[in-house]
Structures are given as structure tokens and as C-alpha cells.
């Protein structure tokens, strides 16, 4: 069975000096953990904050990309880059974990289709159109007040992404932007790390109507592991702990100087305290899978952990090496092996192939 995790934020940890070749005591993802978890493919997201200027966002994305390539090149016995669905399966047959690139936030393309094409040539295979702020492409779930969906430039971006074969990721977009993407995209769209709004009302999650539209479009929702997206009660637990503000300050200090052992240790102590909170368990992740399957169908659900981008993981899913517990729970709930294989990675591979086929047809036709 191929396990494909469609979203982790590990590239940002590379620039914070994490060595992906060793099994780190802290951190959700590294190469040994991927191997131990039986993961066949992992999308490493090049995340850029809305606070960055366009030039700074582009530089940050390139720096993270360079770090990913360097890390993969240094460990050819464990991992290999992949750029197409077939390459994922070829690497899997060789016992290698495929590392793929996504880009979280369209800011680095700087309102330039030429830069979009360049990021494609450098390996980016999906783009999350926005992060937690509206941009020149579209409105985000966090704001959603600028364009009422896709901007005119955003519609050009969607068309060009279709032509290239780059997947359109709606994980952070507003509801209006989501429906615009469904309307304008000629191929299925994906939400690489979201949950179900019926179970947790966070604005980042997808309503049942959105799930049904996504299924009609042929796309997939990849269920996120973040407890704040899994449970309406966990944000209250987090707020009561006081760790959110304290953690942000200590993490910012660590990011500013990741070579300072005292700042690293302070950040690790906060992580230990976060893990001691009363967190939703991995079973709640499967609850969201269950709901998405009931509404959208078994062909339209997968997993997108958001590891290394979330403050704290669910109980029982402390890092990517433990990802198999999801599929064990699905078996206990009566899913067949074929259904589990679809959720584990098969559905996302299907959407990748659909984008590749459309691109090939439009460029050769």
C-alpha cells in the first residue's frame, strides 16, 4: 500500500537547521521517520507568510526549495525526488520515499505567470493559492474581502496551472474562491490539508456542500491532523493553557537564531508542555475521514497531515512514523483494503494523473 501525505511544512524546518537524515527527538518529519512510518510519498510545502514582501517571499521559497534538494541528494538510500505520479510508484518499488514539492501561498510568483512556470520547472507540483491572507490571486479563508473569490489574475493562474499540470490547492481559500476554482478549473482541484466543518466549525474546514462540489469536480480533500481543525473544544484548551502566545514568542526567537542552544531548548520545553495538553486522538482524524467519505464518497478523501506546520499533533499521531495507526483504525471500523488504499494515497495519485493527462492533451493537441 502506498501512503501519500499531501502536506507537511518540513522545508521551513530545514532552514531552521533540522538534519532530515537523522531521527530527531523533536519534530514531526525526517527521513528515518518517513521510512519507519511506511510513507511512500510526502509533499514538502514551501510556505511563505503573508507578512513577507513579494521579493522576500520568492527568496524564502527558493531557499527552502534548495534545502529540500540538498537534503534529498544527501540521502539517496532513503529518498528520491518525484515529479509525476508514475515516478512515485517507481520509487516505491525501489523502497525509496518520494519527496515532492508544493508551494503554500501564491505570493512568490509575484503576479507573474512566467514565475509560475519557473516554479513548475523547478519541481513545484501544486500551489496553495493563498495562506492566511488575501493576495493578488484570490481571497483567503482568513480574510476573504478583496476579490469575492478569484481575482482576474487568479483566473489566469488557474488556467495556466491547468495547462502546466500543476494542481490547484484550495486548502486556505475562502468559500467564494473555492467555488470559483471549481467553476474555472478544467481538472479536479485538491484541498491538501483541511477537515470537515460539520465536525469542527473552523473557517479552514470544508462544508458538506463544498465536499459534494469537490466530489462532482473529481477532486480530493486531504484530512488535516491539527487539533484546532479536528475539534471545536481544543482551541479552548489551548487558550486556557496560555501556551499559544508564549509558544509564538519562543518559536519566533528560535526561528531568528536556530543555532542558539538556549533558544532551541526553550522552544522544545514549550513543545513538551503542548504534548501534555488534553488533545483529540487519532480516532478523531478517522472521524473526519468517515464524514468526508459519507458526504463526498470513498474516491475523494485522503490525508494531508500538516506536520511541522501545526503547534501540536493529535494524541497517538505525534510524528509521521505513527501514521499507520490511521489505517489500523480504518480497518477496525470496517473499511476494506481497497478503500484504505484509496484514502492512503490512491485518490491523490488519481488526481495527479488527471492533471498530467489534461496538460499533455492541451499541449500536444
pLDDT in tens, 20-48: 999 999 999 999 999 999 999 999 999 99
What is residue 245's predicted lDDT score, i.e. its pLDDT?
85
Which region among 29-33, 91-95, 252-256, 360-364 has the lowest average model confidence (pLDDT)? 360-364
Locate 155 and state its grid cell. Answer: 483566473
Burial 288-323 (b: 16+ CB within 10 A, else e): bbbbbbebbbbbbbbbbbbbbbbbbbbbbbebbbbb
**Cβ-based neighbour number of residue 197 at 10 Å:** 20
Alpha carbons 45 and 340: distance in angstroms, whole number: 25
Q: Which CATH class is domain 3-231+280-364?
A: alpha beta
Could you give the percent of the chain with pLDDT greater than 70? Answer: 100
R_g over Cα of the chain: 19
49: part of which helix (H) or strand (E)? none
Joined together, the cell numbers standing for residue 2 give 502506498
Max CA distance (Å), the chain: 59
Determine the pLDDT at residue 244: 86
Answer whether residue 99 shows pLDDT above 90: yes
Average confidence score pLDDT of the chain: 97
Q: Cβ–Cβ contacts within 10 Å for residue 363, how many?
A: 10
Predicted pLDDT of residue 365: 64
Predicted pLDDT of residue 246? 87
Band (pLDDT 50/70/90 cuts) for residue 363 is confident
| Average pLDDT over every residue of 70-88 | 98
Confidence at residue 268, expressed as pLDDT on a 0 to 100 scale: 94
Domain assignments of the chain as residue spans, ordered by start: 3-231+280-364, 232-279
Q: Looking at residues 264-290, what average pLDDT do you find?
A: 96
> Is 190:219 a contact under the CB 8 Å cutoff?
yes
Place of cell 501512503: 3
Q: What tens digit of pLDDT does each residue of 304-327 get?
A: 999 999 999 999 999 999 999 999
- Measure CA of the first residue to CA of the last residue in the chain; give whole Å: 35
* pTM for the predicted model, two decimal places: 0.97
Contacts of 51 (CB under 8 A, 6+ apart): none
Please give the helix or strand (H or E) that residue 293 lies within, else none. Answer: helix 282-296
pLDDT of residue 177: 98
**Cα separations in angstroms, 110 against 68, 134, 275:** 22, 14, 38
Q: Of 183-197, 261-275, 278-292, which range is least confident?
A: 261-275
Amino acid at each position: 500500500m502506498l501512503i501519500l501525505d499531501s502536506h507537511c511544512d518540513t522545508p521551513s524546518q530545514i532552514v531552521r537547521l533540522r538534519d532530515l537524515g537523522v531521527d530527531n527527538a523533536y519534530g514531526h518529519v525526517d527521513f528515518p521517520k518517513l521510512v519507519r512510518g511506511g510513507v511512500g510519498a510526502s509533499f514538502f510545502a514551501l510556505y511563505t507568510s503573508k507578512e513577507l514582501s513579494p521579493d522576500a517571499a520568492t527568496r524564502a521559497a527558493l531557499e527552502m526549495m534548495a534545502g529540500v534538494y540538498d537534503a534529498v541528494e544527501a540521502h539517496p538510500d532513503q529518498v528520491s525526488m518525484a515529479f509525476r505520479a508514475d515516478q512515485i510508484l517507481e520509487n516505491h518499488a525501489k523502497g525509496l520515499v518520494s519527496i515532492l514539492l508544493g508551494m503554500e501561498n501564491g505570493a512568490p510568483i509575484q503576479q507573474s505567470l512566467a514565475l509560475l512556470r519557473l516554479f513548475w520547472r523547478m519541481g513545484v507540483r501544486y500551489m496553495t493559492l493563498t495562506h492566511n491572507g488575501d493576495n493578488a490571486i484570490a481571497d483567503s479563508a482568513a480574510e476573504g474581502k478583496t476579490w469575492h473569490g478569484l481575482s482576474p489574475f487568479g483566473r489566469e493562474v488557474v488556467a495556466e496551472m491547468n495547462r502546466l499540470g500543476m494542481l490547484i490547492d484550495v486548502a486556505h481559500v475562502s468559500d467564494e474562491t473555492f467555488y470559483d476554482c471549481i467553476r474555472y478549473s478544467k481538472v479536479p482541484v485538491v484541498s491538501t490539508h483541511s477537515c470537515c466543518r460539520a465536525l469542527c466549525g473552523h473557517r479552514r474546514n470544508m462544508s458538506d456542500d463544498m465536499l459534494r462540489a469537490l466530489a462532482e469536480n473529481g477532486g480530493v480533500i486531504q484530512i488535516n491532523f491539527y487539533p484546532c481543525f479536528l475539534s471545536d473544544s481544543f482551541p479552548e484548551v489551548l487558550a486556557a493553557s496560555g501556551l499559544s502566545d508564549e509558544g509564538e514568542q519562543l518559536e519566533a526567537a528560535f526561528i531568528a537564531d536556530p543555532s542558539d542552544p538556549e533558544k532551541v531548548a526553550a522552544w522544545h520545553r514549550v513543545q513538551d508542555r503542548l504534548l501534555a495538553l488534553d488533545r483529540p486522538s487519532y480516532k478523531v482524524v478517522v472521524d473526519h475521514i468517515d464524514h468526508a467519505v459519507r458526504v463526498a464518497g470513498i474516491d475523494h478523501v485522503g490525508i494531508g497531515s500538516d506536520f511541522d506546520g501545526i503547534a501540536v499533533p493529535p494524541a497517538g499521531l505525534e510524528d509521521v512514523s505513527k501514521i499507520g495507526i490511521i489505517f489500523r483504525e480504518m480497518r477496525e471500523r470496517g473499511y476494506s483494503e481497497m478503500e484504505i488504499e484509496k484514502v492512503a494515497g490512491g485518490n491523490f495519485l488519481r488526481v495527479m494523473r488527471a492533471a498530467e493527462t489534461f496538460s499533455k492533451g492541451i499541449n500536444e493537441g
